[in-house]
Amino acid sequence: MNSIKRTAHYTLINVAYFAAYSGVHAYTAVFLLERGFSNTLIGIIIALANIFSVLLQPMTAGWIDKYEKFTNRKVSICCAIGCAVSCALLYFIQNFWAIFIIYIILYMLQMIYQPLIQAMNFEYIAAGDKINFGLARGLGSCGFAVTSAIIGKLLVNNDVSILQVVNVLAFLIGILALATFIKPQNLVDATDSVVEKSSDVEEGHNSFFSFTGHYKMFMLFVLGGTCLFFAHNALNDYLFQIITPLGGDKSVMGTMVMVAALLELPAMASFAAVEKKVGCKAILMLSGIMFTVKTLLMLVAPNLTVVYISQACQIFAYALFIPGGAYLAEMAMEKSDKTKGQAYVNCAITLGGVFSALVCGRLLDVLGVKAMLSVSTAVGAIGTVLVIIALKNLKLNVKENA
């Protein structure tokens, strides 16, 4: 297969997804504050959406691993359609509680299909397709960055409803890209005996307790990742509230989000080459440390310059964790658990969002920004320790090229 063409197609899927992710996730507080929601209620919305997605992600992955009629691509398309419809409704609907419910559904659906896009990549690569995952994922972050900057500018002179126009367009592009991203038939035919989900394939560890018992260190890594993403989500979800006392506004926020996202590209694009030299575990350990450094810098920041430096840490934190977590799940999982492995890594991100939303929204309303950032830094530091312990003791089914 043409590697450039296939990588470009997979890149479009990522760009569309993360363009919409910017409008839905990065600007959650901006949209909902304008619609009359308090920080506490915003936290509850984010928490409920994440809780539901945590419950549904492993379940959905289990269906895909077990049943042939469910595929990563088909389920992703269904989720994207649901997201597009939700955004269209948010554009027209003004009712407070209707917005509350729809936003939960929107946020939840988008979280569910993120690990499926990643699993689809490794599924196609295992079948012999040629896709540069790191480059495609890094350019996806560029899509996030550019969209964030555009939205920041648009919000200066437009109502927050403009967010939903951007979101719908992004989701429609994503649906079209997914619908046409079909595994080449010659690869399907050549690998049917390998990937066919039939009765002679190992059942896999579909229950939470079975999976946890079999992959103890991997799940400790997930727990550590949850703590890291508690801190990460605190910064992302409440960046507007963090920078406002320092003189920032919506436009500054858009620029900051863009800077952080653009810096992800070089790290993600070069990930495969670096992983071959130093190994996935070492990269993820560095990532865990830099998550805490980033949050600590945000805590002590006396001005917007230090906030920009904190955002620049993205290149060694989030930008390494995302492809690193995907590679780790692929290396650590048995064949019948690979989609679930991707789902559980994403659960770390999602659960971090749950606890961050529940705690940080309330901390902001009651004690203010500094208290919220202090708690986030402490939780992130715990996550760093857990991730390092887990990675030191985790055995991989596929050896690293270190």
7-19 pLDDT, tens digit per residue, is 899 999 999 999 9
Contact call for residues 160 and 37 (beta carbons, < 8 A): no
5 contacts: CB under 8 Å, gap ≥ 6: none
pLDDT tens-digit series, residues 85-119: 999 999 999 899 999 999 999 999 998 888 888 88
Task: Phi first, then psi: give them for residue 392, nearest 5 degrees.
Answer: -65, -30
pLDDT band at 191 (very low <50, low <70, confident <90, very high): very low
Which residue range is the domain that position 246 belongs to? 3-187+205-393
Is 317 part of any domain?
A: yes
Query: Is residue 40 helix, strand or coil?
Result: helix
pLDDT > 70 fraction of the chain, expressed in percent and rounded: 91
| Res 190 pLDDT > 70 | no
pLDDT one-digit tens code per residue, 282-324: 999 999 999 999 999 999 988 888 988 998 888 899 889 988 8
Q: Which of 146-160, 191-205, 303-317, 380-394 has the highest mean pLDDT?
A: 380-394
As a three-state string, the secondary structure of 127-145 is CCCCCCHHHHHHHHHHHHH
Residue 197 in any domain: the answer is no
The confidence band for 69, taking pLDDT boundaries of 50, 70 and 90, is confident
Instruction: Summarize the confidence of residues 320-345 as an average pLDDT.
Output: 82
Arithmetic mean of pLDDT, 178-190: 70
Q: What is the DSSP string of 219-251?
A: HHHHHHHHHHHHHHHHHHHTHHHHHGGGT--HH
pLDDT mean across residues, the chain:
84
Residue 194 lies in a domain: no
Torsion of CA 194, 196, 202, 207, to 10 degrees: 130
Question: Quick one: CA dihedral 360, 364, 367, 368, positive or negative?
Answer: positive
pLDDT for 193 beyond 60: no
Is a pLDDT exceeding 50 seen at residue 205?
yes
Reported as a pLDDT band with limits 50, 70 and 90, residue 200 is very low
Q: Is residue 401 part of a domain?
A: no
Predicted structure pTM score = 0.75
When pLDDT is averaged across residues 67-91 and rounded to a whole number, the result is 89
Contacts of residue 289, Cβ cutoff 8 Å, sequence gap at least 6: 384
Residue-wise pLDDT tens digits, 220-249 = 999 999 999 999 988 887 888 888 888 887
Report the CATH number that the domain containing residue 244 is assigned in CATH: 1.20.1250.20
Q: How far does the chain reach from its first CA to its final CA, in angstroms?
A: 28
Residue 75, in any domain of the structure: yes
CA-CA distance, 43 to 41, in Å (whole number)?
5
What pLDDT, on the 0 to 100 scale, is given for residue 379?
Answer: 95
**Domain annotation covers residue 192:** no
Q: Which two tokens stand for residue 199?
A: 């009765």
The dihedral built from the CA positions of residue 293, 11, 353 and 332, taken in this order, carries a sign that is negative
Task: Report the C-alpha gap between 34 and 103 in whole angstroms.
Answer: 14
Cα–Cα distance, 283 to 203 (Å, whole number): 32
* Region for residue 196 given its phi and psi (left: phi exceeds 0; alpha: psi -120 to 50; beta: otherwise): beta
Provide the domain count of the chain.
1
In a domain, 196, yes or no: no
Average pLDDT in the 205-218 region?
76
Instruction: Give domain status of residue 264, yes or no.
Output: yes
DSSP assignment, residue 26?
I
